[in-house]
Every structure is written in structure tokens, then in C-alpha cells.
């Protein structure tokens, strides 16, 4: 039977048993590592989404408002125009409340306090944009106060209202009554993406508009500077430069630059672009320049890697038929390396989009209420003050009102969605243009 | 002799400190197939790549000595290697078509050298080259198909078509059949024999049978030296140098 020196194959020998056990253990290590990573990701996403999802819906007060031409004229000539418009809103609200017998025992002041301080400005903008509305009665949607919004999102209760000087329990009772009437509704918060930042007292009006635009400008600067410079540098180093100790030094330093903490680039930007070149601080131009410096090593490294991955036989083939060095690179090598370069660039941009630290140093942490123009005679290209998405998150998390915690999480979700879109685009482009040979 | 196309005298090639080619003298005739044979690492491919200055792309490679084509020193500073390579075409060991269409593969050389005035000219060059490379009948209905989609033998013939499309005078072939099966090899060998009508062909090969079949002259390289050079029949039947004899009979290499 099993007379062979190996013994029976039907019986696992102790040595093999030990090896199999070790293999099983190693698999368990791997699986548990992946499980821990996945759990961490899930916890992160759940906490952000549970905190921030509500920021995409906002509570609005909806009731008929009447205004005539004389009132508009009076309000426009007032010193505090939005204050005058607020008065008109309050009158209209009072009319609505008494008509529907909603006021009852609640003080008028409390009822007025339910409207956001931002409402006057919103109303004024509406009137200026629609002058034909004068003299008619129309339905107006106005932001409810942040506390009332919080009440409908579970942040504010009758108990907390007792301790809070910004909201009274009576206002919550009124909020319930208005909701019953259909005058207090939650709807999708488009303003979150279009409004600029707002002050501490009116979180309900705070939006990401300026931050998104600022980030977009910076990405434009990064793309138009880092991509051509990075690709040109990589092509030169990879295809043209003779290998010598100089290129070695450059190579090592590019790798080192990729590992430099991003805040160092902020200090550099502050010293060079703002203090020396005297560009405007807080401007997307300076932010973009700093992020360009930061992104360059990433783009150079990925571009060189994709150039290296093109088989030398393609270069030989091109040179063999008498193409010049440049023709062989631009006609053959570069098109084949393009998907890799594109992917690296998008990943670099995504990294730059989420970068906060260097932007704090160049003043992009400022409170900016005006949309920055892409070009203005005073500030030049991308020279007007702006903020950026990650900095806006940082800003909001520092504010005391819990409504800003919700906003910050909402901003993080927005940022993550942008990053996901960019990464998906990178994967899509790579799959689409990848050539096999 | 007026028939000499390439004349090399005292050629030395160094890869850094490594002396790869030692003092090679050789006269290569026009309208002739010349085979370079020898064991791996003997320098035959290196020497071949000197003839169209492909070694220029290797930083550490230095070439000394005198190589003349049509009595012009190709290492003269006035010579642009790009112009040289249009005159001296090359086919590589591994078929390396561009990842483009069959048409674009062949048309690329004429395009960059400005050999075609218009599309009709270019079409004609492409057809002529593919016909010469014995690929026309197989490829004419799918000129837009990618060159990389062809079989190995067809790819190599496409590379030959691409090389002759620039109207070279000399064709260098670096082990053109080593990646091909016997049938494809036979086709390429047949093709080489026809190409001899128009070009001076220099072929590096590992297969002594191939050298015997396709070439009229044979050069045997060993350890960077050109050991023996002469008429193919004589090299294979009655070599002068004992090293050639050993290699041919399979004792070294």
C-alpha cells in the first residue's frame, strides 16, 4: 500500500498541517485588516451623512406679502434699506397671522423673530428684480430663523428653548401652528450651493457659493499651470535629458517635494506670492499658485511613470523609420501615455481640491460675502478675495452655533461628491483610452 | 570595388567600461544579403545598430572608428541621424507596429519625411510597400484595422513594409524571425530574398540555417571580434578560423 517513503497522500503530515495553519492565519489577518478599514470608512460616512444630510433641506416661511410703489420708494430711500423691507415683511406676516387666527396668546415680537434676518435682503432683491410686483399680493418664501429650522431637524426642543436666548418656547408653538397651516415648509436647499457665507447670527443663510467658485478658480489655475509645466518637465527628464548626477539630484528632490507637508507650501506662498510679488491675499490666484507648486511633483511623478511604462520598442520603431526624437515622443509615446498622465493629473487636482492648510496661511480663511469675479480691473485675473471648500468647512466647524456643524458636514459631503466625481472621471478616462499592445 | 555600400574600418564600441566591439573591419556589398552570426552577446546586434546610429539613443554607448555608407562618414558631425535612418531602414527583433491602423503604420515614415505630395501619392506608397512586404492581399481590405491586431508573422511583415516605405537603400534586420513560427519565418525569408533586388540587406540571426538559406555573405562575430567574413557557402562548408568551425558545428555558442 503506502510503502513509499512519503507516506500516504490521504493523510496530511504534521509539517503540511503547520504550513496550512500559517496560511489560514495569514488570510485571517488580511481579512480583519480589510474589515477594520471598511468599518472605519462606514463610521466616517455615516457620521458625516447623519450630521450633514439635513443641510440639504431648509425650512422656509411661505405667506402672502403685499407691497405698493410708495412703500418701495420709502424703503429705498431709508438709511437701512433691508431694515425697512423687514418692516414690510413683518406687517404682512402680522396680517396673515391675524387673518388665520394663529397669533392668539403669542407676543408679536416672537412671531417676527421666526423670520431670518436675511429675509429683508432676499425680499429687496426680489422686488428689485420684479418691479411689476408692486401693488399686488404675492406668495413669498422666506428663510425661517436657524433655531426654527433646527426645531424641525430635531436640534431644538422646548427644553433647550428655555435656556436659549435666541428662541422661545412660544415660537416653537407658533412653528407647529404654521406647519399645520402649510406656511412653514422644508424644501431642497438650493441656496446652500449658491449663497455666500453668512454671519454667526444667521446660519440659515450660509451657503457654499463663494467657496465652490473659489475652489473652481483655483482648480483652473492649477490645471492650466501644473499640467503643462509638469508634463513638459517629465518629458524632458524622461526622454531628452542625459542621465547624470544632476538628473539624479532633480529626481530625488521631486520625490522629496511630493512628501513636503502642505503647510510649508503655504509659508512659501505667503513669502513669495504675497509678500514679495505683492499679489492679493485671499485670492484664488495665489491659492492656485500655491496648489500648483504642491501638485507639480504629483503630476511629474505620475507622468514619468506612465512615460516609463511605454515599451522602448515603440521608440525604437519610430526612430527606426527616421522620426526625430521629438516626433517619436509627440507622435507615439505621448499619446500612449496620455491616459496615465490624465489620471495622475486628476488625482493631483483632487488632492489639491481638498487641501486646507496652505490656504489658511495665504488668507483664504477670510469671511467673504461677495462673489469673486474671474477678472476685474483692480484685482486682475482671479485676484478678488475668495474662500475655498475645505477652508469653509474649517471655518464653520469653529463657529459656536450648532447649526454650523450641520452646514460643515453638508460642505464635507459636497466636497466628497466633487472628489468622487473626479476620481470616477479618472477611472473612466483610463479605461476608455487605455491601449494594449 | 564599386559595389561596396557600407565600409567599416577599426570600429570600436564601448558600453561604459565594457568593450563590446573590438576593431571590426567589414565591407558590405550592395544588393546583397549579409548575415551576422555568432553566439549571444558577441556584439553582432550592437554592430548592426551602429550602421544607422541607433546606439546614439543609449547614453553610455560610445562608437569609435570609421563607418562609411556610399563613402560618406555617417559619424561625421554634419550628419543628422534622422536623415541617415531614412536611408538605412531597420526591422527589429520583436514585431513592434505602432498601435495605429495598418495604413498609418506604413504611411508614417513617408509622412514625416515628406515623400508624398498628396493623399493619392501616399496611398500608392502604402500599397507598393505592402505589396513588396507580401502583405497586400491579406491587408488590403482592412487597412483601417489596428496593426497590433495582426498575427506575429503579419506584424513583422508590416514592420518590413513600414521600413521600406521610406525608400531606404539599406535594410537592417535584427533577428527578424526570432519571435515567429516556422511558417511565418519561411514567408519572411522568402521576402528577404526578394528585397535583395532593391536593397542591401544586413541581417542578424541566431539561426545558422537561416543565415545559410538567405545570405550571400556571412560574418561571424565572437566576443566582440569579427572572426571571419566571406561568402556564405565557404563559411559554412570550409571555414578558415577554428572558432568559426567550432561554432558552426555546435561546439561553442
Q: pLDDT value at position A108?
A: 87
The dihedrals phi and psi of A277, each to the nearest 5 degrees, come to: -80, -10
Is B85 in Cβ contact with A317 (below 8 Å)?
no
What does the block give as the cell for B248? Answer: 558552426
Q: Do the Cβ atoms of B54 and B93 come closer than 8 Å?
A: no
Q: Helix or strand or coil: residue B200?
A: strand
Query: For residues B33 and A158, what is the distance between their CA atoms, to the nearest angstrom?
Result: 100
Residue bearing cell 513509499: A4
| Among chain A residues, CA nearest to B98 | A314
Q: pLDDT value at position B78?
A: 92
Same domain, A313 and A421: yes
Tell me whether B99 touches chain A (CB under 8 Å).
yes
Same domain, A65 and A44: no
Residue A7 lies in a domain: no
- Please give the span between the terminal C-alpha atoms of chain B, in angstroms, as a whole number: 34
Residue bearing cell 512615460: A307
User: How high is the ipTM of this complex?
Assistant: 0.88
| Domain B4-248 top-level CATH class | alpha beta
Which among B59, B92, B96 is the nearest to A242, CB-wise? Answer: B59
Mean pLDDT across A95-109: 87
Of A158, A189, A220, which residue is a domain's last?
A189
Query: For residues B54 and A120, what is the distance between their CA atoms, to the nearest angstrom?
Result: 77
What does the block give as the cell for A19? Answer: 504550513
Residue A201 lies in a domain: no
CA angle B213, B5, B159 (to 5 degrees): 55
What percentage of chain A reaches a pLDDT higher than 70?
A: 99
pLDDT tens-digit map of A38-92: 999 999 999 999 989 999 999 999 988 888 888 888 888 888 888 888 888 998 8
Q: Are strands B4-15 and B18-29 parallel, antiparallel or unpaired?
A: antiparallel
Which residues of chain B make contact with A309, given a CB cutoff of 8 A?
Answer: none
Q: Is the alpha carbon torsion for A68, A74, A75, A76 positive or negative?
A: positive
Same domain, A248 and A309: yes
Residue bearing cell 480583519: A32
Same domain, A88 and A146: yes
Q: pLDDT value at position B74?
A: 93
Is B97 in Cβ contact with A321 (below 8 Å)?
no
| Among chain A residues, CA nearest to B49 | A320
Residue A9 lies in a domain: no
Give the number of domains in chain A.
3
Same domain, A422 and A381: yes
pLDDT tens-digit map of B88-100: 999 998 999 999 9
Which residues of chain B make contact with A243, given a CB cutoff of 8 A?
Answer: 59
Which among B59, B83, B96 is the nearest to A317, CB-wise? Answer: B96
Q: Which stretches does DSSP call E strand in A339-385?
A: 375-376, 380-381
Neighbours of A180 (CB within 10 A): 10
Mean pLDDT across A155-162: 89
Same domain, A258 and A374: yes
Mean pLDDT score of chain A: 90
Is A243 in Cβ contact with B166 (below 8 Å)?
no
Among B residues 79-98, those touching chain A with beta carbons less than 8 Å apart: 82-83, 85-86, 89-92, 94, 96-98
CA angle A287, A289, A291 (to 5 degrees): 70
Mean pLDDT across A334-357: 92
Same domain, A68 and A46: no
Q: pLDDT value at position A436?
A: 57
Among B residues 184-213, those touching chain A with beta carbons less than 8 Å apart: none
Is the per-residue pLDDT at A22 higher than 90? Answer: yes
Q: Is the alpha carbon torsion for B93, B96, B102, B104 positive or negative?
A: negative
pLDDT tens-digit map of A178-228: 999 888 999 999 999 999 998 888 899 999 999 999 999 999 999 999 999
Q: State how far the alpha carbon of A203 is from the alpha carbons of A2, A177, A189, A347, in Å.
A: 83, 23, 13, 33
Same domain, A223 and A180: no
Residue A60 lies in a domain: yes
Of A189, A219, A249, which residue is a domain's last?
A189
Tell me whether B67 touches chain A (CB under 8 Å).
no
Query: For residues A111 and A95, what is the distance between their CA atoms, to the nearest angstrom?
Result: 12
Q: pLDDT value at position A435?
A: 65
Is the per-residue pLDDT at B73 higher than 90? Answer: yes
Q: pLDDT value at position A3?
A: 60
Mean pLDDT across B192-209: 90
pLDDT tens-digit map of B96-121: 999 999 999 999 999 999 888 899 99
Same domain, A270 and A379: yes
pLDDT tens-digit map of A260-282: 999 999 999 999 999 999 998 88
- Categorize the per-residue pLDDT at A9 as very low, low, confident or very high, splitting at 50, 70 and 90: confident
Mean pLDDT across A7-31: 92
List, in sequence order, the alpha helices (H) in chain B: 44-50, 81-87, 102-113, 119-132, 136-139, 152-165, 182-195, 208-214, 232-237, 242-248
Please tell me the pTM assigned to this model: 0.84
Q: pLDDT value at position A402?
A: 87
Q: pLDDT value at position A351?
A: 92
Tell me whether B57 touches chain A (CB under 8 Å).
yes
Same domain, A47 and A63: no
Q: Do the Cβ atoms of B88 and B170 come closer than 8 Å?
A: yes
- Give residue A27's domain range: 18-53
pLDDT tens-digit map of A117-141: 888 888 888 888 888 888 888 888 8
Amino acid at each position: 500500500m503506502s510503502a513509499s517513503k512519503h507516506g500516504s497522500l490521504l493523510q496530511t503530515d504534521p509539517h503540511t498541517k503547520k504550513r496550512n495553519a500559517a496560511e489560514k492565519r495569514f488570510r485571517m489577518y488580511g481579512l480583519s485588516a480589510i474589515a477594520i478599514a471598511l468599518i472605519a470608512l462606514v463610521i466616517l460616512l455615516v457620521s458625516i451623512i447623519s450630521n450633514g444630510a439635513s443641510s440639504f433641506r431648509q425650512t422656509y416661511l411661505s405667506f402672502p406679502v403685499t407691497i405698493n410703489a410708495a412703500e418701495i420708494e420709502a424703503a429705498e430711500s431709508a438709511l437701512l434699506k433691508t431694515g425697512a423691507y423687514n418692516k414690510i415683511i413683518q406687517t404682512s406676516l402680522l396680517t396673515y397671522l391675524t387673518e388665520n387666527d394663529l397669533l392668539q396668546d403669542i407676543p408679536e415680537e416672537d412671531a417676527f423673530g421666526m423670520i431670518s434676518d436675511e429675509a429683508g435682503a432676499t425680499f429687496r432683491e426680489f422686488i428689485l428684480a420684479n418691479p411689476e410686483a408692486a401693488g399686488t399680493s404675492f406668495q413669498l418664501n422666506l428663510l425661517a430663523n436657524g433655531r426654527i429650522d433646527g426645531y424641525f431637524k430635531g436640534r431644538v426642543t422646548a427644553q433647550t428653548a428655555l435656556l436659549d436666548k435666541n428662541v422661545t418656547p412660544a415660537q416653537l408653538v407658533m412653528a407647529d401652528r404654521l406647519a399645520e397651516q402649510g406656511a412653514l415648509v422644508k424644501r431642497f436647499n438650493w441656496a446652500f450651493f449658491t449663497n455666500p457665507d453668512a454671519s454667526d447670527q444667521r446660519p440659515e443663510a450660509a451657503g457654499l457659493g463663494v467657496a465652490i467658485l473659489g475652489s473652481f478658480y483655483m482648480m483652473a489655475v492649477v490645471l492650466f499651470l501644473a499640467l503643462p509645466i509638469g508634463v513638459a518637465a517629465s518629458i524632458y527628464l524622461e526622454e531628452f535629458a542625459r542621465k547624470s548626477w544632476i538628473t539624479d539630484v532633480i529626481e530625488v528632490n521631486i520625490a522629496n517635494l511630493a512628501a513636503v507637508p502642505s503647510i510649508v507650501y503655504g509659508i512659501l506662498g505667503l513669502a513669495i506670492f504675497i509678500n514679495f510679488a505683492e499679489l492679493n491675499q485671499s485670492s484664488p490666484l495665489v491659492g492656485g499658485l500655491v496648489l500648483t507648486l504642491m501638485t507639480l511633483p504629483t503630476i511629474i511623478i505620475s507622468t514619468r511613470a506612465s512615460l516609463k511604462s511605454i515599451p522602448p520598442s515603440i521608440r525604437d520603431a519610430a526612430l527606426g523609420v527616421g522620426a526625430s526624437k521629438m516626433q517619436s515622443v509627440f507622435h507615439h509615446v505621448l499619446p500612449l501615455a496620455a491616459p496615465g498622465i490624465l489620471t495622475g493629473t486628476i488625482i493631483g487636482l483632487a488632492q489639491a481640491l481638498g487641501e486646507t492648510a496652505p490656504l489658511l496661511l495665504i488668507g483664504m480663511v477670510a469671511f467673504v460675502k461677495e462673489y469673486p469675479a474671474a477678472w476685474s480691473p483692480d484685482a486682475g485675473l482671479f485676484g478678488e478675495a475668495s474662500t475655498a471648500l475645505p477652508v469653509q468647512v474649517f471655518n464653520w466647524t469653529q463657529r459656536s452655533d450648532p447649526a454650523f456643524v450641520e452646514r460643515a458636514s453638508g460642505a464635507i459631503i459636497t466636497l466628497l461628491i466633487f472628489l468622487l466625481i473626479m476620481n470616477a472621471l479618472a477611472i473612466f478616462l483610463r479605461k476608455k483610452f487605455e491601449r494594449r499592445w | 570595388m564599386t559595389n561596396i555600400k557600407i565600409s567599416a574600418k577599426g570600429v570600436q564600441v564601448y558600453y561604459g567600461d565594457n568593450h563590446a566591439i573590438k576593431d571590426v573591419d567589414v565591407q558590405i556589398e550592395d544588393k546583397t544579403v549579409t548575415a551576422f552570426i555568432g553566439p549571444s552577446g558577441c556584439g553582432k546586434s550592437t554592430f548592426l545598430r551602429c550602421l544607422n546610429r541607433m546606439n546614439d539613443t543609449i547614453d553610455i554607448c560610445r562608437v569609435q572608428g570609421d563607418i562609411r555608407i556610399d563613402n560618406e562618414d555617417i559619424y561625421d558631425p554634419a550628419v543628422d541621424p534622422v536623415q541617415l535612418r531614412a536611408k538605412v531602414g531597420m526591422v527589429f527583433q520583436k514585431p513592434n507596429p505602432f498601435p495605429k491602423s495598418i495604413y498609418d503604420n506604413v504611411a508614417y515614415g513617408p509622412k514625416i519625411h515628406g515623400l508624398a505630395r498628396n493623399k493619392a501619392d501616399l496611398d500608392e506608397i502604402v500599397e507598393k510597400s505592402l505589396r513588396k512586404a507580401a502583405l497586400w492581399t491579406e491587408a488590403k481590405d482592412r487597412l483601417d484595422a489596428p496593426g497590433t491586431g495582426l498575427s506575429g508573422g503579419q506584424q513583422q511583415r508590416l514592420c518590413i513594409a513600414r521600413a521600406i516605405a521610406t525608400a531606404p537603400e539599406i535594410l537592417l534586420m535584427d533577428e527578424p524571425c526570432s519571435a515567429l513560427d516556422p511558417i511565418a519565418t519561411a514567408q519572411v525569408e522568402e521576402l528577404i530574398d526578394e528585397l535583395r533586388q532593391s536593397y542591401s540587406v544586413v541581417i542578424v540571426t541566431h539561426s545558422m540555417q537561416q543565415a545559410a538559406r538567405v545570405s550571400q555573405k556571412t560574418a561571424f562575430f565572437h566576443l566582440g571580434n569579427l572572426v571571419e567574413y566571406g561568402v556564405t557557402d565557404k563559411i559554412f562548408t570550409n571555414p578558415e578560423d577554428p572558432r568559426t568551425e567550432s561554432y558552426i558545428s555546435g561546439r561553442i555558442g
